[in-house]
Structure 1
Amino acid sequence: MAQDTHVLDAPPAGAAADWTIAQDWDRYTPEEHATWDTLFARQAALLPGRASNAYLRGLDVLKLSKPGIPDFAELSERLMGLTGWQVIAVPGLVPDDVFFDHMANRRFVAGNFIRRPDQLDYIQEPDVFHDVFGHVPMLADPVFADYLEAYGKGGQRALSMDALKYLGRLYWYTVEFGLIAEPEGLRIYGSGIVSSFAETRFALDDPSPNRIAFDLARVMRTEYRIDDFQQNYFVIPSFDDLLRATVETDFAPLYAELKTQPDIPVAAIEPADVLLTRGTQAYAAERTRA
């Protein structure tokens, strides 16, 4: 099922107007299923004691009756019973308005392709492993499920306010690369971390990055890179607090204020930051020398 590219300008032939396509589970090759199994086994072994309790509880939804890559129909049936979400297949990255509409209606879009065996450690564009292993367990948590629905509705408003870059940063630093403070210590829940063998360890163990208490406006001012480990991670106290911070905020005046302020570089520390860990920035320095 591999394709040369999954970044498209219009729905490809066979796709519906909302960009959805059939998953075609029966068309996956044994090699593609084996790639999923390899990725799943090594991440599942690494995550206990590192991933949030909510993520680990949700991981059970991926243990389905068929081997290899999950069947979205079976997965959606299980999720619908838990939180009312479903997983729908798309051919690749979809336009923002399409993405937000699906999310606002509790439909999570997932690519139906999987990385090659020589891409186990990194693929820039999200594939079915990132989308399903990374995101779907958190969809089984009722509070986080509500947060994603609220985010989708917020995205629709952000498009009309020319404020998408600010809301995109919130997604990046929570849904993709968020940390949470649990009684046992810091834990990961962001899909970009839990689906990455290397960043799962880097985000918690490496002394290089800053780990900063979550502040909504601060996060939305902060730039990010998609092609490397994060140098600032933001730590929420709970998923209830994250949901409350988004649903109880009037984003229109917040966007207006943000547009008058400079962006914050990826590794910067601000005077008002509450630092849980002040990073050494050794990783960033080494990358610069290289």
Structure 2
Amino acid sequence: MPDARPILPPHLARHVVDQAYDAYTPRDQAVWRHILTRLTTHLAHRAHPSYLEGLASAGIGVEAIPRLEEMDARLQRIGWRAVGVRGFIPPAVFTELQSLGILAIAADIRSVEHVPYTPAPDIVHESAGHAPILADPAYAAYLKRCGTAGFKAIASLEDEAVYQAVRHLSVVKEDPACGPAEVAEAQARLEAARAARTYASESVKASRLYWWTAEYGLVGPESDPRIYGAGLLSSLGEAVHCLGPEVRRVPLSLACVERDFDITAMQPLLYVARDFDHLTEVLEAFEATLSWRRGGEHGLREAMRARTVNHLVLDTGAQLSGRVVAVEPGLAVLAGPVQVAVRGRAQGEPWPGHAVVLLDAGDPPRVGDFRLETPGGVELSGLRLEGGEVLDLEGWAGGRDLELPAEALLFTADAVVSVAGGPADPEAWDRRFGQDPGEADAERRARDRRRRALDPALAALYQEVRDLRAAGRVEPARLNAIQAALEAWPGEWLLAEEVAELRPSGAPQEKVGAAAGPRCVERP
């Protein structure tokens, strides 16, 4: 019997939400049906062969928004799990879940105004886009490994500012209580955060690899590729555009991590993988560039440039989590708090002050005065106390004094074998220093306001059409009455479309204003 829900550590579990299935409105269900009906028809012969089979095996149908507990039970059969989340969760949380084989599915669904394209993650994209191709074992293995690489990649302080701005903008755009002024302000905040980004961090490059493969990837012969990227599989406009003559298609290579993307526009260039094993080949090449694999001075300088909390792995087995603030040949300084861990488990309470790492210089006495020198010419002296704390710390390099804290924890080792993103023990760090998701309440309030904004009388009409379809009945008189009632909501093209689909071909119908037919649903 499948487990009801994966057991997650608290730092991940606090981002998981109940789906609240009954909170979906009849119009939400119509949005799902509208999109999935057209996608499955269009993609039947354009998507990777796993697509249709994968939809069914994941418990995803056309007529109703999927229930996440059913999806989770189905995905367990292929070694994956599914949990509900709300909106944009932190990238480190998303990638850690993915590395564990857990698909984070946004429980919300796009509004009818955003049928062609949503500014926020939603259940259409996360379930109908990502889940189906997991039926292919090679792709499923790639996605999990891609999560690990993204989790280990070093993110910068600038990346965090962009993430917070993107999340805020997505909430504002979907909140009916927010007007043009709030949207413009949120958009300006995002543009400012992007403009302030001075370099592409390891995390940014990992996200580009993910974008050009898991989100916007094609696979097969360049002359006749198939779609597997979730962004393409969950947008009819993108699915049509990506195989058209205006899109340049090139073989997938590591060069894709140097190419940025614009989430608001159709992509003029897409990458084609030979097969799903090709994805892993490119991922392996990318992993070799990461500080997680390279360690050493390269990793230390990458962490210092990022100005975020990362962790060093010494050849002694010690793992030090903190911000790298200074690097010299054979020397690194971390600003506190510094958490010491072994094999990913925190050892005691975090040290509130600085830590100094000295490499290939021998070991100081357990207690007492010391003077050590690295092969690179860095000298260090001080008084070591029990427990590794050093007082009166001084340092020199090339005839100049080093700016060092007078008191610090001192660690000696032969090498830094790895420098990876985030703390070594995320659960312990989150317990001490984590913050509640900044936009979580705003996202929940936006969803509640959207639900309340739907006129109950209009919701009842959507539900009646849904009931008629489920019962397999065609009642022309009722359909005429519903269509006549639509005069009160001339912009409800989706309900007009639902009514039209139930009519027998050639059946008479009442004329209504702007609701007489659906608007174009392809993304502009």
Q: Structure 2 unaligned segments of length 5 or more: list them.
A: 1-10, 157-200, 303-524
1:234-265, CA deviations, whole angstroms, 9 ceiling, x for partnerless residues? 00000012123324652337997xx9xxxxxx
Q: 2:290 aligns with which of 252, 257, 264?
A: 252
Q: 2:34 aligns with which of 34, 38, 56?
A: 38
Question: What amino acid does structure 2 have at the position aligned with 1:231?
Answer: P
Query: Match of 2:252?
Result: 214
Give, in whole Å, the separation in 1 of the partners of 2:211 and 2:24: 30
Q: 2:131 aligns with which of 116, 133, 136?
A: 136
Indicate the SS of the match to 1:43. helix
Aligned ranges 1:63-142 → 2 under 5 Å: 63=59, 67-82=63-78, 84-142=79-137
Query: Match of 1:5?
Result: none
Q: Structure 1 unaligned segments of length 5 or more: list them.
A: 1-14, 260-290
Correspondence 1:195 to 2:234: yes
Equivalences, count: 241
Correspondence 1:177 to 2:247: no
Aligned ranges 1:267-282 → 2 under 5 Å: none
Native 8 Å contact 1:62 1:133 kept in 2: no
Native 8 Å contact 2:32 2:65 kept in 1: yes
1:45-79, CA deviations, whole angstroms, 9 ceiling, x for partnerless residues? 10022111122331222545895110111111111
Query: Match of 1:233?
Result: 270
- Report deviation, 1:118: 2.5
Indicate the SS of the match to 2:84. strand
1:216-244, CA deviations, whole angstroms, 9 ceiling, x for partnerless residues? 2x101111101010011000000012123
Give, in whole Å, the separation in 1 of the partners of 2:237 and 2:62: 28
Correspondence 1:153 to 2:190: no
Native 8 Å contact 2:98 2:147 kept in 1: yes
Native 8 Å contact 1:90 1:111 kept in 2: yes
Bigger shift: residues 160-169 or 135-144: 160-169
Give, in whole Å, the separation in 1 of the partners of 2:147 and 2:290: 16
Q: Which has the higher strand share?
A: 2
Alpha carbons of structure 1 residues 214 and 101: separation in structure 2 relative to 1, 3 Å: same
- Report deviation, 1:16: 7.0
Runs of 4 or more above 4 Å deviation: 62-67, 253-256
Structure of higher CA gyration radius: 2
Native 8 Å contact 2:205 2:258 kept in 1: yes
Give, in whole Å, the separation in 2 of the partners of 1:16 and 1:233: 33
Alpha carbons of structure 1 residues 62 and 40: separation in structure 2 relative to 1, 3 Å: farther
Indicate the SS of the match to 2:64. coil
| Greater relative CO, 1 or 2 (CA 8 Å, sep 6+) | 1
Give, in whole Å, the separation in 1 of the partners of 2:60 and 2:288: 40
Give, in whole Å, the separation in 2 of the partners of 1:117 and 1:73: 25
Indicate the SS of the match to 1:89. strand
Native 8 Å contact 1:52 1:182 kept in 2: no
Indicate the SS of the match to 2:66. coil
How large is the RMSD of aligned CA atoms in angstroms?
2.6
Bigger shift: residues 88-97 or 174-183: 174-183
- Report deviation, 1:94: 0.6
Q: Normalized against structure 2, the TM-score is what?
A: 0.43
Give, in whole Å, the separation in 1 of the partners of 2:33 and 2:61: 14
Correspondence 1:21 to 2:17: yes
- Report deviation, 1:153: 0.8
Q: 1:204 aligns with which of 233, 243, 252?
A: 243
Give, in whole Å, the separation in 1 of the partners of 2:131 and 2:246: 29
Q: 2:43 aligns with which of 22, 40, 47?
A: 47
Query: Match of 2:512?
Result: none
Query: Match of 1:271?
Result: none
Give, in whole Å, the separation in 2 of the partners of 1:42 and 1:167: 32
Give, in whole Å, the separation in 1 of the partners of 2:155 and 2:270: 29
Native 8 Å contact 1:170 1:219 kept in 2: yes
Query: Match of 1:282?
Result: none
1:78-104, CA deviations, whole angstroms, 9 ceiling, x for partnerless residues? 11102x111111111011111111111
- Report deviation, 1:139: 1.9
Q: Normalized against structure 1, the TM-score is what?
A: 0.76
Bigger shift: residues 127-136 or 155-164: 155-164
